Chain A
């Protein structure tokens, strides 16, 4: 060092002295080391994923079949399938997307495209923004509890999950078994009425809804012997069982442990993600485009409809893909609100009971037998396949709509 400091005023740059202690070799070494470190970390994450996938593939591949995709989860592992959970996931995720995407994108448009003008709208903006940021960090179990209270039982304000306060698209019947082993139905107007007793003059019909004349006899012995007569003969005073026939538009309040309740709960989980991603996408649209729209006399709505939203669609799609992937894999909130119940049929209306694949996998994985663990692995394969299918569809749409902006 003394050699440098000894000639501070010589007017020469002391490069000759300094250049002996060059950093070129250190620099190259550090650069190369850092690059290899990055490669190693990247490979590590990929490696973990590959190990995971391979082990699941080995475990679960053997049980993968059409039968597995279609069949219901029988207690016997050889015949068990994932059908109801697969369709449950498809139903729940589609309905969830139908609610979450419009609401989320609309909220983002409100927050980004309509800047607050007055003090109270500014307060409202800040309040909503703060809440969305907070909601994004809330654990999904909490949303499960909220969904259980709000959607499943409507906060106990009206009706119960079993006795809805309001209902359409469903008809109630009391069902008798005739002496000739045939179902005889009696339509019921009040689902809470006590079960009907077999008596003369009932408005009876067969299972397809055609009215039938029913003979009521005091006892078995008094009935006619012909098999045709027996088919429409009931013993007086017999108690019926209550059944329902629901159409595809069946709806009720409270929603109960249904597709709609599960979808709305998942909507709460993914809404913050959708909103924040859409906001980012809208923020990425150059303000010069907005000014161009306003400058030729477009209303704010027309600017959103024709300029901002088309330009932001790719970003919104990316965020929505992430959000929907989360919704597909989410088990906790649905476990809270629907429970791991045995469901043997796929949903056929929005208020049918539902189970989803993560729940089914959880159910199988928590059993002691090895066969069920294999079923769980197969279930995971199906779940991943559905996830990839949804994602590639969304990526395809994104590619189709993507255009350069400036």
Chain B
């Protein structure tokens, strides 16, 4: 790896990158491919001509100032924006071989393959068990013993099992904010998705819970392709392999996290990651 001397190294660089992939070459297969992607809310164009490849089984973070379109992009990846009145998108957005934006696409099946975790923890007002079992029950004809196993597997995967195994039938709302968010992750992975979308998953949590979720993200990428929208640049640096920087609806720069944070190609990226604006 070539070392580039930078003047005034941004403070962010002092945070060690957790990403084990620090080279440009090792990108792997592409899970999601965007080509000439545009999105509108009514007449307001939120995204302009985005071309982006999101590699399989890696963490890709989308960063940028508020209103830059990163959440919009995330919500189009599993068509959550379908329910937003006036929202529409054009261009190519493919999940492996599936045309996500096509009218023929079964949105329900798509959302099983692309799970989503929201900014604010939003467990159903049901028991912990029922929250995790909700998705599998919708999609599969499943025996109750198998369902028990699946719930345990999901909760273990979400690093929540040890905390809740003795009170699976308590209300999910009795959990703390961080536990609730991990429950939402368990709920999302219980249906067996390929991709996990995370829309600022830690912004409503305290630092301790945030650290646990970040550890979790790091472990989950062994199995899932993860796309995370974040305002927290340390978070992007800590737990993502690749980073895409958006500004005013345009994809400004995309690359390995280390490259984007240490040797950004664009001036705007550098200004943003060094905290000059945003």
Q: Is the CB of B118 within 8 A of A295?
A: yes
Which residues in window 355-406 of A have CB below 8 A to B?
403-406
Chain B residues whose CB sits within 8 angstroms of the CB of A307 once the complex forms = 124
Chain B residues whose CB sits within 8 angstroms of the CB of A302 once the complex forms = 138
* A137 CB-CB contact with B under 8 Å: no
Q: Is the CB of B108 within 8 A of A291?
A: no
- Whole-angstrom CA separation of A306 from B173 in the bound complex: 17
Q: Out of A116, A294, A296, name the residue touching B187 (CB < 8 Å).
A: A296
State whether A115 and B122 are in contact (beta carbons under 8 Å apart), knowing that A294-B111, A296-B111, A297-B108 are contacts in the complex: no
Chain A residues whose CB sits within 8 angstroms of the CB of B187 once the complex forms = 292, 296
Give the distance to chain A from B78, nearest Cβ to Cβ, in Å: 7
Q: Interface readout for B102-118 with A: 1 if CB under 8 Å, 0 if not?
A: 00000011111001101
Q: Is the CB of A294 within 8 A of B122?
A: no
* B85 CB-CB contact with A under 8 Å: yes
Q: Out of B109, B111, B120, B139, name the residue touching A295 (CB < 8 Å).
A: B111
Give the distance to chain A from B93, nearest Cβ to Cβ, in Å: 17
Q: Is the CB of A115 within 8 A of B83?
A: yes
Chain B residues whose CB sits within 8 angstroms of the CB of A404 once the complex forms = 125, 171, 173
Give the distance to chain B from A314, nearest Cβ to Cβ, in Å: 11
Chain B residues touching A, range: 20 to 34
Q: Out of A289, A292, A298, A310, name the residue touching B108 (CB < 8 Å).
A: A298
- Total count of chain A residues near the partner, CB < 8 A: 24
Chain A residues whose CB sits within 8 angstroms of the CB of B111 once the complex forms = 294-297
* B218 CB-CB contact with A under 8 Å: no
- Whole-angstrom CA separation of A115 from B82 in the bound complex: 10
Q: Is the CB of B80 within 8 A of A289?
A: no
Chain A residues whose CB sits within 8 angstroms of the CB of B85 once the complex forms = 115-116
* A105 CB-CB contact with B under 8 Å: no
- Whole-angstrom CA separation of A289 from B184 in the bound complex: 11
* B37 CB-CB contact with A under 8 Å: no
Q: Is the CB of A296 within 8 A of B122?
A: no
* B228 CB-CB contact with A under 8 Å: no
Q: Which residue of B lies closest to A290 (CB)?
A: B83
Which residues in window 288-341 of A have CB below 8 A to B?
288-299, 302, 306-307, 310-311
Give the distance to chain B from A231, nearest Cβ to Cβ, in Å: 68
- Whole-angstrom CA separation of A116 from B85 in the bound complex: 8
State whether A286 and B83 are in contact (beta carbons under 8 Å apart), knowing that A295-B78, A296-B191, A297-B135 are contacts in the complex: no
Give the distance to chain A from B251, nearest Cβ to Cβ, in Å: 24
Q: Is the CB of A298 within 8 A of B122?
A: no
Give the distance to chain B from A307, nearest Cβ to Cβ, in Å: 6
Q: Is the CB of A291 within 8 A of B139?
A: no
Q: Interface readout for B124-146 with A: 1 if CB under 8 Å, 0 if not?
A: 11000000001100110000000
Q: Out of A116, A292, A311, name the residue touching B118 (CB < 8 Å).
A: A292
State whether A296 and B125 are in contact (beta carbons under 8 Å apart), knowing that A288-B118, A291-B80 are contacts in the complex: no
Chain A residues whose CB sits within 8 angstroms of the CB of B201 once the complex forms = none
Give the distance to chain A from B92, nearest Cβ to Cβ, in Å: 23
Q: Is the CB of B124 within 8 A of A294?
A: no
* B202 CB-CB contact with A under 8 Å: no
- Whole-angstrom CA separation of A135 from B111 in the bound complex: 40
Chain A residues whose CB sits within 8 angstroms of the CB of B110 once the complex forms = 297
Q: Out of B115, B125, B139, B188, name the residue touching A405 (CB < 8 Å).
A: B125
Q: Which residue of A lies closest to B123 (CB)?
A: A292
Chain B residues whose CB sits within 8 angstroms of the CB of A310 once the complex forms = 125
Which residues in window 183-201 of B have CB below 8 A to A?
184, 187-188, 190-191
Chain A residues whose CB sits within 8 angstroms of the CB of B173 once the complex forms = 404, 406
Q: Which residue of B lies closest to A299 (CB)?
A: B108
Q: Is the CB of A294 within 8 A of B80?
A: yes
Chain A residues whose CB sits within 8 angstroms of the CB of B124 once the complex forms = 289, 292-293, 306-307
Give the distance to chain A from B276, nearest Cβ to Cβ, in Å: 34
Q: Is the CB of B118 within 8 A of A296?
A: no
Chain A residues whose CB sits within 8 angstroms of the CB of B116 once the complex forms = 291, 295
Looking at B83, B116, B123, which has the most chain A CB atoms within 10 Å of its CB? B83
Which residues in window 82-101 of B have CB below 8 A to A?
83, 85
Give the distance to chain B from A239, nearest Cβ to Cβ, in Å: 69
Chain B residues whose CB sits within 8 angstroms of the CB of A311 once the complex forms = 125
Looking at A288, A296, A298, which has the most chain B CB atoms within 10 Å of its CB? A296
Q: Out of A116, A288, A296, A403, name the residue touching B120 (CB < 8 Å).
A: A288
State whether A296 and B188 are in contact (beta carbons under 8 Å apart), knowing that A286-B122, A302-B138, A311-B125 are contacts in the complex: yes
Q: Interface readout for A93-118 with B: 1 if CB under 8 Å, 0 if not?
A: 00000000000000000000001100
State whether A291 and B118 are in contact (beta carbons under 8 Å apart), knowing that A296-B111, A297-B111 are contacts in the complex: yes
Give the distance to chain A from B112, nearest Cβ to Cβ, in Å: 4
- Whole-angstrom CA separation of A299 from B112 in the bound complex: 11
- Whole-angstrom CA separation of A382 from B23 in the bound complex: 84
Give the distance to chain B from A29, nearest Cβ to Cβ, in Å: 45
- Whole-angstrom CA separation of A294 from B111 in the bound complex: 8
- Whole-angstrom CA separation of A406 from B184 in the bound complex: 13
Give the distance to chain B from A291, nearest Cβ to Cβ, in Å: 6
Give the distance to chain A from B48, nearest Cβ to Cβ, in Å: 25
Chain A residues whose CB sits within 8 angstroms of the CB of B115 once the complex forms = 295-296
- Whole-angstrom CA separation of A298 from B112 in the bound complex: 9
Which residues in window 35-74 of A have CB below 8 A to B?
none
- Whole-angstrom CA separation of A294 from B80 in the bound complex: 8
Chain B residues whose CB sits within 8 angstroms of the CB of A406 once the complex forms = 122, 125, 173
Give the distance to chain A from B224, nearest Cβ to Cβ, in Å: 15
Q: Which residue of A lies closest to B190 (CB)?
A: A296
Q: Is the CB of B83 within 8 A of A297?
A: no
Chain B residues whose CB sits within 8 angstroms of the CB of A286 once the complex forms = 122
Seen from chain A, the residues whose Cβ lies within 8 Å of a Cβ on chain B are 115-116, 286, 288-299, 302, 306-307, 310-311, 403-406
> Can you list 5 A-B contacts (CB < 8 A)?
A291-B80, A292-B124, A293-B124, A296-B112, A311-B125
Question: 7 tightest CB-CB pairs across the interface, nearest first?
Answer: A296-B135, A288-B122, A297-B111, A297-B112, A295-B116, A292-B122, A297-B108
